[in-house]
Amino acid sequence: MHDWKSLLVKPEFPRSNHYDPNWVVENQMGPNVLWLVEWLSERLALQPDMRVLDLGCGRAMSSIFLAREFGVRVWAADLWIGPDQNWRRVMEAGVSSRVFPMRLEAHAIPFPHDFFDAVVSLDAYTYFGTDDLYLGYLSGFVRPAGLLGIVVPGLLRDFESGIPSHLAEPQSNGKPFWEEECRCFHTPDWWRAHWSHSSRIADLHVEALKDGWRHWRDFEKAVELSGKGIFPSCAEALERDAGLYIGFVGMTAVRSETSGDDLYDPALGLRVGVDR
Ligand SMILES: C[S@@+](CC[C@H](N)C(=O)[O-])C[C@H]1O[C@@H](n2cnc3c(N)ncnc32)[C@H](O)[C@@H]1O
């Protein structure tokens, strides 16, 4: 059998290379979140003890990584994966004094405004963050001059005329890459425009991850060869695409001094007199 573990060793991700490959594939929920968070962490000035929200953390691998590598305190927040499961993983990883799992719906963040020094979100922001109002809401939970960092699967360029056949047609395992939900994939230009309208952030940087498709393909292959995959592999479609359209988009920004209304706060109804 091919040594799938060697596919997970990459010079670009020296910190991730130290994590147990079995742990990484057993807890994966998509592309390798350790690579995504390592890429992001090189662009965020994380300091020990900072309060970090890991929004849509899944099985909390990125939260554990951030706590271990940078000594930050992480609220590992997710909708689908319950806190009991993540707490077990956190205890096993030896970071129970720094990682705090919780169930959270991204539109009902139960923290004071300005609470976090940083918010990160890896392969999750597309599920809620394409809403025009969402960045304004989320940034309210980050203190002024605090950090925001997002990595999502995305497009490297727009389709010229419809979904390309190599993405729409089934792979040899029967699964097409492109499903209806992929319409939340957007280009770096789209994300830049989406975020730059907001006065609540500054110092915005948006870029495609270098060799993102290669890393994604290698991870898909590793998971498939390990026999521990949950979903059919999309390595074949990524190989065919070869970075023409599909990759990852990373964004970082700093919270500005500007604040505004919390539009998802149920109490807003009282302020505008709905219940009177
Ligand atoms: C593809 S998984 C990625 C999980 C993890 N970040 C990773 O990369 O392994 C997307 C995650 O987004 C979370 N998510 C989706 N919608 C959400 C919402 N409205 N509020 C909070 N989390 C959400 C899901 O619970 C899921 O764990």
Q: Residues lining ligand 1, CB < 6 A?
A: 29-30, 33, 56-58, 62, 78-81, 104-106, 122-124, 127-128
Q: What percent of the chain has pLDDT over 70?
A: 98
Task: Write the residue with the smallest CA distance to atom 16 of ligand 1.
Answer: 127
| Per-residue pLDDT reduced to its tens digit, 181-207 | 999 999 999 999 999 999 999 999 999
Task: Write the residue with the smallest CA distance to atom 13 of ligand 1.
Answer: 56
> Ligand 1 centroid to 57 CA: how many Å?
6
Using pLDDT thresholds of 50, 70 and 90, give the confidence band for residue 1.
low
Cα 91 → chain centroid: 22
> Ligand 1 centroid to 78 CA: how many Å?
6
Q: Is the pTM of this model over 0.95?
A: yes
> Ligand 1 centroid to 149 CA: how many Å?
15
Average pLDDT value over all residues in the chain: 96
Q: What are phi and psi of 65, to 5 degrees?
A: -60, -50
| Per-residue pLDDT reduced to its tens digit, 62-79 | 999 999 999 999 999 999
> Ligand 1 centroid to 80 CA: how many Å?
7
Gyration radius of the chain over CA positions: 19
Domains detected in the chain? 4-257 (3.40.50.150)
Q: What is the pLDDT of residue 145?
A: 98
> Ligand 1 centroid to 151 CA: how many Å?
12
Q: What is the pLDDT of residue 230?
A: 86
Q: Which two tokens stand for residue 40?
A: 């992001």
Cβ partners under 8 Å of residue 20, min gap 6: none
Angstrom distance (rounded) from CA 117 to CA 51: 5
Burial 138-149 (b: 16+ CB within 10 A, else e): bbbbbeeebbbb
| Per-residue pLDDT reduced to its tens digit, 93-145 | 999 999 999 999 999 999 999 999 999 999 999 999 999 999 999 999 999 99
Q: Give yes or no for residue 267 having a pLDDT over 90.
A: no
Q: Which atom of ligand 1 is nearest to the CA of 57?
A: 6
